[in-house]
Amino acid sequence: MADTNFRGPINSMGALEVDTNTSQVLPFDGPSNFYQAVAWLDPRGGAFAKDNFRPGQVPAFLNVNDVYAIDAIPQAAGSNVLAVASQITATIGMNLATVGVTNFSSGAASLAVGVPIIPAGTTVATTAKIALDFGFTTGTSIANSTALTVADNTLFTQNQWLVVGNVGNSAATVSLLTQVQAIHSTNTTTIYISPAPATALGVPIGQANLYGSDLIALGTQFGPQNASANAHNSGGRIQGGLGRYMNPREMLARNVTVQASASTDGTGTILVAGWDVWGQAMTELLTASGTTPVAGKKAFKYIQSATPQTLGTTVTATYTIGIGDTFGFPFRTDQTEYLTISAGGTAVANAVGIVTAVITGATNTSGDVRGTVQLSAVAGGTPISAAATSNNVKRLVVIQSPNAWQTLFTNPNRLTPMFGTTQA
Protein backbone atom coordinates (compact mmCIF):
# COMPACT_ATOMS: atom_id res chain seq x y z
CA MET A 1 0.00 0.00 0.00
CA ALA A 2 1.30 3.48 -0.87
CA ASP A 3 2.06 6.02 1.83
CA THR A 4 -0.65 8.65 2.30
CA ASN A 5 -0.47 12.27 3.41
CA PHE A 6 -3.75 14.01 4.13
CA ARG A 7 -5.03 17.01 5.98
CA GLY A 8 -6.57 16.23 9.38
CA PRO A 9 -8.00 16.20 11.92
CA ILE A 10 -8.76 12.53 12.46
CA ASN A 11 -11.69 11.45 14.61
CA SER A 12 -12.01 7.86 15.74
CA MET A 13 -15.53 8.01 17.13
CA GLY A 14 -16.12 4.40 18.15
CA ALA A 15 -19.26 3.96 20.24
CA LEU A 16 -19.81 7.76 20.32
CA GLU A 17 -21.04 7.72 16.74
CA VAL A 18 -24.81 8.13 16.40
CA ASP A 19 -26.28 5.29 14.37
CA THR A 20 -30.06 5.21 13.82
CA ASN A 21 -30.59 7.74 16.63
CA THR A 22 -28.59 5.79 19.21
CA SER A 23 -25.03 4.72 19.95
CA GLN A 24 -23.82 1.15 19.71
CA VAL A 25 -20.88 -0.52 21.39
CA LEU A 26 -19.30 -2.74 18.73
CA PRO A 27 -16.43 -5.25 18.95
CA PHE A 28 -14.04 -3.19 16.82
CA ASP A 29 -14.62 0.32 18.18
CA GLY A 30 -11.02 0.67 19.35
CA PRO A 31 -8.25 1.12 20.31
CA SER A 32 -6.46 2.37 17.22
CA ASN A 33 -3.07 0.83 16.47
CA PHE A 34 -0.01 2.57 15.01
CA TYR A 35 3.15 0.83 13.85
CA GLN A 36 6.34 2.34 15.35
CA ALA A 37 4.38 4.71 17.61
CA VAL A 38 3.19 8.20 16.57
CA ALA A 39 4.90 11.55 16.17
CA TRP A 40 4.23 15.29 16.35
CA LEU A 41 5.18 17.22 13.23
CA ASP A 42 7.67 20.03 13.76
CA PRO A 43 5.86 23.26 12.76
CA ARG A 44 9.20 24.74 11.74
CA GLY A 45 9.56 22.16 8.99
CA GLY A 46 7.78 24.19 6.32
CA ALA A 47 5.16 23.16 3.79
CA PHE A 48 5.47 20.08 1.62
CA ALA A 49 3.35 18.60 -1.18
CA LYS A 50 1.02 15.86 -0.02
CA ASP A 51 2.08 13.60 -2.89
CA ASN A 52 5.81 14.08 -2.33
CA PHE A 53 7.46 11.03 -0.72
CA ARG A 54 11.06 10.55 0.27
CA PRO A 55 12.65 9.16 3.44
CA GLY A 56 13.15 11.72 6.20
CA GLN A 57 11.40 14.60 4.44
CA VAL A 58 9.25 15.67 7.42
CA PRO A 59 10.85 16.86 10.68
CA ALA A 60 8.97 15.58 13.70
CA PHE A 61 9.17 14.68 17.40
CA LEU A 62 8.70 11.04 18.23
CA ASN A 63 5.90 10.62 20.77
CA VAL A 64 7.00 7.53 22.65
CA ASN A 65 4.58 6.69 25.43
CA ASP A 66 5.33 5.02 28.74
CA VAL A 67 4.35 1.35 28.80
CA TYR A 68 2.98 -0.26 31.93
CA ALA A 69 5.17 -3.32 31.62
CA ILE A 70 4.44 -5.06 34.95
CA ASP A 71 1.59 -4.50 37.38
CA ALA A 72 1.11 -7.55 39.60
CA ILE A 73 1.59 -9.05 43.05
CA PRO A 74 4.41 -11.64 42.97
CA GLN A 75 4.38 -14.88 44.87
CA ALA A 76 6.65 -14.94 47.92
CA ALA A 77 10.18 -16.15 47.22
CA GLY A 78 11.19 -19.54 48.61
CA SER A 79 14.21 -21.82 48.43
CA ASN A 80 12.33 -25.06 47.66
CA VAL A 81 9.27 -23.87 45.74
CA LEU A 82 10.20 -25.64 42.48
CA ALA A 83 11.89 -28.78 43.80
CA VAL A 84 12.13 -29.96 47.41
CA ALA A 85 15.32 -31.39 48.85
CA SER A 86 16.19 -34.61 47.06
CA GLN A 87 19.20 -36.82 46.51
CA ILE A 88 20.13 -36.81 42.86
CA THR A 89 22.67 -38.15 40.41
CA ALA A 90 24.37 -36.38 37.55
CA THR A 91 22.41 -36.04 34.29
CA ILE A 92 19.16 -37.28 35.89
CA GLY A 93 16.64 -34.45 36.03
CA MET A 94 15.36 -33.28 39.41
CA ASN A 95 11.76 -33.96 40.35
CA LEU A 96 10.03 -30.62 39.87
CA ALA A 97 6.83 -29.66 41.68
CA THR A 98 3.84 -31.32 40.04
CA VAL A 99 0.95 -30.27 42.27
CA GLY A 100 -0.85 -26.94 42.60
CA VAL A 101 0.35 -24.39 45.12
CA THR A 102 -0.47 -24.62 48.80
CA ASN A 103 0.36 -21.00 49.71
CA PHE A 104 -2.38 -19.47 47.58
CA SER A 105 -3.15 -15.81 48.33
CA SER A 106 -6.11 -14.01 46.76
CA GLY A 107 -5.00 -11.45 44.20
CA ALA A 108 -1.39 -12.65 44.06
CA ALA A 109 0.24 -14.60 41.25
CA SER A 110 1.31 -18.16 42.06
CA LEU A 111 2.66 -21.35 40.51
CA ALA A 112 0.61 -23.23 37.94
CA VAL A 113 1.58 -26.74 36.84
CA GLY A 114 0.96 -28.53 33.56
CA VAL A 115 0.40 -25.33 31.57
CA PRO A 116 0.14 -25.70 27.76
CA ILE A 117 2.13 -23.09 25.83
CA ILE A 118 3.19 -22.54 22.24
CA PRO A 119 6.90 -21.63 22.41
CA ALA A 120 8.10 -18.80 20.17
CA GLY A 121 8.95 -20.00 16.69
CA THR A 122 6.70 -23.05 16.95
CA THR A 123 3.08 -23.80 16.12
CA VAL A 124 2.45 -26.82 18.32
CA ALA A 125 1.40 -26.64 21.97
CA THR A 126 3.71 -28.21 24.53
CA THR A 127 3.07 -28.58 28.25
CA ALA A 128 5.32 -26.54 30.50
CA LYS A 129 5.78 -28.32 33.82
CA ILE A 130 5.65 -25.10 35.85
CA ALA A 131 4.59 -21.52 35.13
CA LEU A 132 6.03 -18.98 37.58
CA ASP A 133 3.88 -16.17 38.99
CA PHE A 134 1.01 -17.23 36.77
CA GLY A 135 -2.20 -15.38 36.06
CA PHE A 136 -3.79 -11.93 35.80
CA THR A 137 -6.10 -12.62 38.74
CA THR A 138 -7.15 -15.40 41.11
CA GLY A 139 -10.19 -17.48 41.98
CA THR A 140 -11.51 -20.33 44.09
CA SER A 141 -12.94 -23.41 42.44
CA ILE A 142 -15.44 -26.07 43.51
CA ALA A 143 -14.91 -29.56 42.12
CA ASN A 144 -17.11 -30.18 39.05
CA SER A 145 -18.92 -26.84 39.45
CA THR A 146 -19.05 -24.29 36.64
CA ALA A 147 -19.27 -21.44 39.19
CA LEU A 148 -15.88 -19.90 39.88
CA THR A 149 -15.44 -17.32 42.64
CA VAL A 150 -12.98 -14.64 41.49
CA ALA A 151 -11.37 -11.57 43.02
CA ASP A 152 -13.09 -9.25 40.49
CA ASN A 153 -15.38 -10.44 37.69
CA THR A 154 -15.15 -7.10 35.87
CA LEU A 155 -11.77 -8.35 34.62
CA PHE A 156 -13.54 -10.94 32.45
CA THR A 157 -15.63 -10.86 29.28
CA GLN A 158 -18.19 -13.36 28.10
CA ASN A 159 -16.74 -16.04 25.81
CA GLN A 160 -13.20 -15.25 26.99
CA TRP A 161 -10.86 -18.26 26.95
CA LEU A 162 -8.86 -18.90 30.11
CA VAL A 163 -6.19 -21.12 31.59
CA VAL A 164 -7.15 -21.88 35.20
CA GLY A 165 -4.13 -23.15 37.09
CA ASN A 166 -3.92 -26.61 38.64
CA VAL A 167 -7.54 -27.78 38.35
CA GLY A 168 -7.48 -29.74 35.09
CA ASN A 169 -7.70 -33.02 36.98
CA SER A 170 -8.59 -34.19 40.47
CA ALA A 171 -4.92 -34.62 41.41
CA ALA A 172 -4.23 -30.92 40.70
CA THR A 173 -1.32 -31.79 38.41
CA VAL A 174 -2.49 -30.06 35.23
CA SER A 175 -4.11 -26.73 34.41
CA LEU A 176 -7.53 -26.28 32.78
CA LEU A 177 -8.38 -24.69 29.43
CA THR A 178 -11.89 -23.29 29.76
CA GLN A 179 -14.23 -20.55 28.54
CA VAL A 180 -16.32 -17.92 30.31
CA GLN A 181 -19.96 -18.78 29.70
CA ALA A 182 -21.54 -16.03 31.83
CA ILE A 183 -20.68 -13.29 34.33
CA HIS A 184 -22.86 -12.84 37.40
CA SER A 185 -25.04 -9.76 37.00
CA THR A 186 -25.59 -8.85 40.67
CA ASN A 187 -22.18 -9.45 42.25
CA THR A 188 -18.58 -8.88 41.20
CA THR A 189 -17.15 -12.18 42.44
CA THR A 190 -18.70 -14.94 40.30
CA ILE A 191 -18.20 -16.15 36.75
CA TYR A 192 -19.38 -19.37 35.11
CA ILE A 193 -17.00 -21.44 33.02
CA SER A 194 -17.06 -24.59 30.94
CA PRO A 195 -15.43 -27.11 31.18
CA ALA A 196 -15.64 -27.10 34.98
CA PRO A 197 -12.64 -27.47 37.34
CA ALA A 198 -11.96 -31.04 38.46
CA THR A 199 -10.97 -30.13 42.01
CA ALA A 200 -11.50 -27.48 44.69
CA LEU A 201 -8.53 -25.14 45.00
CA GLY A 202 -7.39 -21.53 45.18
CA VAL A 203 -6.27 -20.88 41.61
CA PRO A 204 -4.31 -18.43 39.46
CA ILE A 205 -6.15 -17.52 36.25
CA GLY A 206 -4.41 -16.63 32.98
CA GLN A 207 -5.41 -15.71 29.44
CA ALA A 208 -5.65 -18.44 26.80
CA ASN A 209 -4.75 -17.97 23.14
CA LEU A 210 -8.10 -17.69 21.33
CA TYR A 211 -9.85 -14.34 20.85
CA GLY A 212 -13.18 -13.28 19.40
CA SER A 213 -14.51 -16.81 19.40
CA ASP A 214 -18.01 -15.36 19.76
CA LEU A 215 -17.56 -13.94 16.25
CA ILE A 216 -16.48 -17.26 14.74
CA ALA A 217 -19.21 -19.24 13.00
CA LEU A 218 -20.40 -22.08 15.18
CA GLY A 219 -19.75 -25.62 14.11
CA THR A 220 -22.60 -27.94 13.31
CA GLN A 221 -23.03 -31.67 13.60
CA PHE A 222 -22.06 -31.86 9.94
CA GLY A 223 -19.35 -29.19 9.91
CA PRO A 224 -16.11 -28.40 11.72
CA GLN A 225 -15.80 -28.35 15.48
CA ASN A 226 -16.10 -25.01 17.25
CA ALA A 227 -12.77 -23.28 17.75
CA SER A 228 -11.09 -23.82 21.12
CA ALA A 229 -8.02 -22.35 22.78
CA ASN A 230 -5.11 -24.76 23.17
CA ALA A 231 -2.50 -22.87 25.20
CA HIS A 232 -1.69 -19.99 27.50
CA ASN A 233 -0.98 -16.78 25.62
CA SER A 234 2.60 -15.63 26.21
CA GLY A 235 2.32 -12.03 27.35
CA GLY A 236 -1.19 -12.73 28.65
CA ARG A 237 -2.61 -10.57 25.89
CA ILE A 238 -6.15 -9.25 26.31
CA GLN A 239 -8.52 -8.47 23.47
CA GLY A 240 -9.41 -4.91 22.56
CA GLY A 241 -11.03 -4.29 19.18
CA LEU A 242 -8.77 -5.53 16.40
CA GLY A 243 -5.81 -5.79 18.75
CA ARG A 244 -4.65 -8.07 21.52
CA TYR A 245 -2.65 -6.18 24.06
CA MET A 246 0.06 -7.17 26.50
CA ASN A 247 -1.44 -7.43 29.97
CA PRO A 248 0.99 -6.06 32.61
CA ARG A 249 -0.73 -8.29 35.18
CA GLU A 250 0.72 -11.34 33.41
CA MET A 251 4.27 -10.12 32.81
CA LEU A 252 6.00 -11.36 35.96
CA ALA A 253 9.10 -13.47 35.28
CA ARG A 254 11.75 -14.15 37.90
CA ASN A 255 15.03 -15.79 38.79
CA VAL A 256 15.62 -19.32 40.04
CA THR A 257 17.74 -20.34 43.03
CA VAL A 258 19.63 -23.52 43.92
CA GLN A 259 20.76 -24.70 47.35
CA ALA A 260 22.79 -27.65 48.66
CA SER A 261 21.85 -29.49 51.83
CA ALA A 262 25.10 -28.96 53.71
CA SER A 263 28.27 -26.88 53.56
CA THR A 264 30.31 -30.07 53.12
CA ASP A 265 28.56 -31.04 49.89
CA GLY A 266 31.05 -29.19 47.72
CA THR A 267 30.08 -27.50 44.47
CA GLY A 268 27.37 -28.81 42.18
CA THR A 269 25.98 -27.38 38.94
CA ILE A 270 22.40 -27.68 37.72
CA LEU A 271 21.14 -26.66 34.26
CA VAL A 272 17.66 -25.12 34.37
CA ALA A 273 15.70 -25.07 31.11
CA GLY A 274 12.45 -23.36 30.23
CA TRP A 275 11.04 -20.29 28.49
CA ASP A 276 10.91 -16.55 29.12
CA VAL A 277 7.82 -14.35 29.35
CA TRP A 278 7.56 -14.18 25.53
CA GLY A 279 7.89 -17.96 25.10
CA GLN A 280 11.53 -17.90 24.00
CA ALA A 281 13.49 -21.01 25.02
CA MET A 282 16.26 -20.35 27.55
CA THR A 283 18.69 -22.12 29.88
CA GLU A 284 20.77 -21.16 32.89
CA LEU A 285 23.60 -23.02 34.61
CA LEU A 286 23.38 -22.56 38.40
CA THR A 287 26.18 -23.47 40.79
CA ALA A 288 25.25 -24.62 44.29
CA SER A 289 27.84 -24.27 47.01
CA GLY A 290 26.75 -24.75 50.60
CA THR A 291 23.49 -24.10 52.36
CA THR A 292 22.98 -20.50 51.24
CA PRO A 293 20.66 -20.25 48.20
CA VAL A 294 22.56 -19.19 45.08
CA ALA A 295 20.54 -16.89 42.86
CA GLY A 296 20.31 -17.08 39.09
CA LYS A 297 20.54 -13.94 36.95
CA LYS A 298 17.90 -14.71 34.34
CA ALA A 299 14.11 -14.23 34.47
CA PHE A 300 12.11 -17.40 33.73
CA LYS A 301 8.37 -17.58 33.14
CA TYR A 302 8.12 -21.32 32.54
CA ILE A 303 10.32 -24.12 33.89
CA GLN A 304 10.66 -27.45 32.10
CA SER A 305 13.65 -29.19 33.70
CA ALA A 306 16.50 -28.90 36.19
CA THR A 307 19.28 -31.33 35.30
CA PRO A 308 22.47 -31.76 37.37
CA GLN A 309 25.66 -31.46 35.34
CA THR A 310 28.16 -32.06 38.16
CA LEU A 311 27.59 -32.88 41.82
CA GLY A 312 29.32 -32.08 45.08
CA THR A 313 31.80 -34.31 46.87
CA THR A 314 29.25 -35.94 49.17
CA VAL A 315 27.21 -38.70 47.54
CA THR A 316 24.35 -38.13 50.00
CA ALA A 317 24.02 -34.45 49.06
CA THR A 318 20.54 -33.15 48.42
CA TYR A 319 19.57 -30.03 46.47
CA THR A 320 16.53 -27.78 46.30
CA ILE A 321 15.34 -25.44 43.55
CA GLY A 322 13.47 -22.28 44.45
CA ILE A 323 12.55 -18.80 43.26
CA GLY A 324 14.36 -15.61 44.21
CA ASP A 325 13.28 -12.00 44.40
CA THR A 326 14.70 -10.76 41.10
CA PHE A 327 12.28 -9.96 38.26
CA GLY A 328 12.84 -9.48 34.54
CA PHE A 329 11.74 -6.61 32.31
CA PRO A 330 9.50 -7.41 29.30
CA PHE A 331 11.46 -4.95 27.12
CA ARG A 332 15.18 -4.44 26.76
CA THR A 333 16.57 -1.88 29.20
CA ASP A 334 19.94 -0.30 28.45
CA GLN A 335 19.58 2.77 30.68
CA THR A 336 17.98 2.78 34.11
CA GLU A 337 16.72 6.31 33.49
CA TYR A 338 14.03 4.85 31.20
CA LEU A 339 12.46 2.96 34.10
CA THR A 340 9.93 3.92 36.74
CA ILE A 341 9.56 1.23 39.42
CA SER A 342 7.54 0.89 42.60
CA ALA A 343 7.62 -2.22 44.77
CA GLY A 344 5.79 -2.74 48.02
CA GLY A 345 5.00 0.96 48.20
CA THR A 346 8.67 1.85 47.73
CA ALA A 347 9.54 3.97 44.69
CA VAL A 348 12.96 3.25 43.24
CA ALA A 349 14.89 6.51 43.36
CA ASN A 350 18.17 5.33 41.83
CA ALA A 351 19.77 2.46 39.95
CA VAL A 352 20.35 0.27 43.03
CA GLY A 353 19.03 -3.24 42.44
CA ILE A 354 18.68 -2.79 38.67
CA VAL A 355 20.84 -4.72 36.19
CA THR A 356 20.62 -3.62 32.56
CA ALA A 357 20.32 -5.97 29.59
CA VAL A 358 23.12 -8.19 28.33
CA ILE A 359 23.82 -6.75 24.88
CA THR A 360 26.58 -9.14 23.79
CA GLY A 361 25.90 -12.77 23.00
CA ALA A 362 24.00 -14.43 25.84
CA THR A 363 25.34 -17.62 27.47
CA ASN A 364 23.82 -19.92 30.07
CA THR A 365 25.77 -18.07 32.79
CA SER A 366 25.31 -14.46 31.62
CA GLY A 367 22.68 -11.99 32.82
CA ASP A 368 19.20 -11.43 31.46
CA VAL A 369 18.80 -10.27 27.85
CA ARG A 370 16.33 -7.54 28.84
CA GLY A 371 17.54 -6.68 32.34
CA THR A 372 16.25 -7.27 35.88
CA VAL A 373 15.31 -5.57 39.14
CA GLN A 374 15.99 -7.18 42.53
CA LEU A 375 13.35 -6.43 45.15
CA SER A 376 15.04 -7.79 48.28
CA ALA A 377 18.17 -9.53 49.51
CA VAL A 378 16.61 -13.00 49.23
CA ALA A 379 19.35 -15.22 47.77
CA GLY A 380 21.95 -12.46 47.95
CA GLY A 381 22.70 -9.56 45.64
CA THR A 382 21.89 -5.88 46.01
CA PRO A 383 18.16 -5.13 46.40
CA ILE A 384 16.20 -1.92 45.91
CA SER A 385 14.90 -2.11 49.50
CA ALA A 386 14.28 -4.70 52.19
CA ALA A 387 10.74 -3.27 52.41
CA ALA A 388 10.00 -4.63 48.93
CA THR A 389 10.41 -8.33 49.77
CA SER A 390 7.77 -10.33 47.89
CA ASN A 391 5.22 -11.81 50.28
CA ASN A 392 1.99 -12.49 48.30
CA VAL A 393 0.79 -8.98 49.22
CA LYS A 394 3.19 -6.32 47.91
CA ARG A 395 2.68 -5.14 44.34
CA LEU A 396 5.39 -4.61 41.75
CA VAL A 397 4.79 -1.93 39.11
CA VAL A 398 7.31 -1.33 36.32
CA ILE A 399 6.86 1.39 33.71
CA GLN A 400 9.22 1.25 30.74
CA SER A 401 9.79 4.04 28.24
CA PRO A 402 11.14 2.72 24.94
CA ASN A 403 13.70 5.14 23.55
CA ALA A 404 13.73 6.55 20.02
CA TRP A 405 16.21 3.96 18.75
CA GLN A 406 14.11 1.05 20.04
CA THR A 407 10.91 2.48 18.58
CA LEU A 408 12.22 3.35 15.13
CA PHE A 409 14.58 0.44 14.49
CA THR A 410 12.60 -2.53 15.82
CA ASN A 411 10.87 -4.33 12.97
CA PRO A 412 9.86 -7.92 12.12
CA ASN A 413 13.37 -8.59 10.79
CA ARG A 414 15.18 -6.90 13.69
CA LEU A 415 13.68 -7.53 17.11
CA THR A 416 16.81 -7.04 19.19
CA PRO A 417 16.41 -3.31 19.95
CA MET A 418 13.11 -3.87 21.77
CA PHE A 419 13.30 -7.49 22.96
CA GLY A 420 16.99 -8.14 23.48
CA THR A 421 19.58 -10.48 22.06
CA THR A 422 18.81 -14.16 21.49
CA GLN A 423 18.37 -16.23 24.65
CA ALA A 424 20.97 -18.88 25.41
CA 17 to chain CA mean position, Å: 36
Q: Is residue 190 part of a domain?
A: yes
Q: Do residues 145 and 52 both lie within one domain?
A: no
Spatial separation of the C-alpha atoms in residues 280 and 318, rounded to whole Å: 30
Smallest CA-to-CA distance from 343 within 300, 399, 277, 387 is with: 387
Q: Is residue 194 part of a domain?
A: yes
- In the predicted model, residues of the chain with pLDDT beneath 70 are 1-2, 20, 85-92, 101-103, 214-226, 262-266, 312-316, 379, 386-387
Q: Is residue 140 part of a domain?
A: yes
Q: According to the model, what pLDDT value does residue 217 have?
A: 55
Structure confidence by residue, pLDDT tens digits, 184-193: 999 999 999 9
Q: According to the model, what pLDDT value does residue 76 have?
A: 92
Q: Is residue 96 part of a domain?
A: no
Q: According to the model, what pLDDT value does residue 223 have?
A: 46
Domain end position, chosen among 7, 41, 65: 65
Q: Do residues 34 and 171 both lie within one domain?
A: no
Domain end position, chosen among 199, 220, 250: 250
Spatial separation of the C-alpha atoms in residues 183 and 194, rounded to whole Å: 12
> Counting Cβ atoms within 10 Å, is residue 22 exposed (0-12), middle (13-18) or buried (19+)?
exposed
Q: Do residues 39 and 163 both lie within one domain?
A: no
Q: Do residues 30 and 138 both lie within one domain?
A: no
Q: Do residues 128 and 59 both lie within one domain?
A: no
Q: Is residue 301 part of a domain?
A: no
Q: Do residues 46 and 131 both lie within one domain?
A: no
Q: Do residues 50 and 141 both lie within one domain?
A: no
Q: Is residue 243 part of a domain?
A: yes
Spatial separation of the C-alpha atoms in residues 185 and 145, rounded to whole Å: 18
Q: What's the total number of domains in the chain? A: 2
Q: Do residues 119 and 235 both lie within one domain?
A: yes
Query: 409: how many CB neighbours lie within 10 A of its CB?
Result: 12
Q: According to the model, what pLDDT value does residue 358 have?
A: 97
Q: Do residues 155 and 238 both lie within one domain?
A: yes
Q: Do residues 107 and 239 both lie within one domain?
A: yes
Q: Do residues 119 and 223 both lie within one domain?
A: yes
- 414-424: b or e for each residue (b if 16 or more CB lie within 10 Å)? eeebbbbbebb
SS (H, E, C) the chain: CCCCCCCCCCCCCHHHCEECCEECCCCCCCCCCCCCCEEEECHHHCCCCCCCCCCCCCCEEEECCCEEEEEECCCCCEEEEEEEEEECCCCCCCCCCCCCCCCCCCCCCEEEEEEEECCCCCCCCEEEEEEEEECCEEEECCCCCCEEEECCHHHCCCCCEEEECCCCCCCCCCCEEEEEEEECCCCCCEEEEECCCCCCCEEEEEEECCCCHHHCCCCCCCCCCCCCCCCECCCCCEEECCEEECCHHHCCCEEEEEEECCHHHCEEEEEEEEECCCCCEEEEEEEEECCCCEECCCCECEEEEEEEEECCCCCCCEEEEEEEEEEECCCCCCCHHHEEEEECCEECCCCCCEECCCCCCCCCCCCCCCCEEECCCCCCCCCCCHHHCCCCCCCEEEEECCCHHHHHHCECCECHHHHCCCCC
Q: Do residues 238 and 126 both lie within one domain?
A: yes
Domain end position, chosen among 250, 269, 286: 250
Q: According to the model, what pLDDT value does residue 408 have?
A: 93
> Counting Cβ atoms within 10 Å, is residue 340 exposed (0-12), middle (13-18) or buried (19+)?
middle
Structure confidence by residue, pLDDT tens digits, 278-322: 999 999 999 887 788 899 999 999 999 998 887 765 556 778 899
Q: Which domain holds residue 53?
A: 22-65
Q: Is residue 157 part of a domain?
A: yes
Sheet holding 281-289, edge to edge: 110-117, 126-134, 302-310, 267-275, 281-289
Q: Is residue 215 part of a domain?
A: yes
Q: According to the model, what pLDDT value does residue 351 have?
A: 87
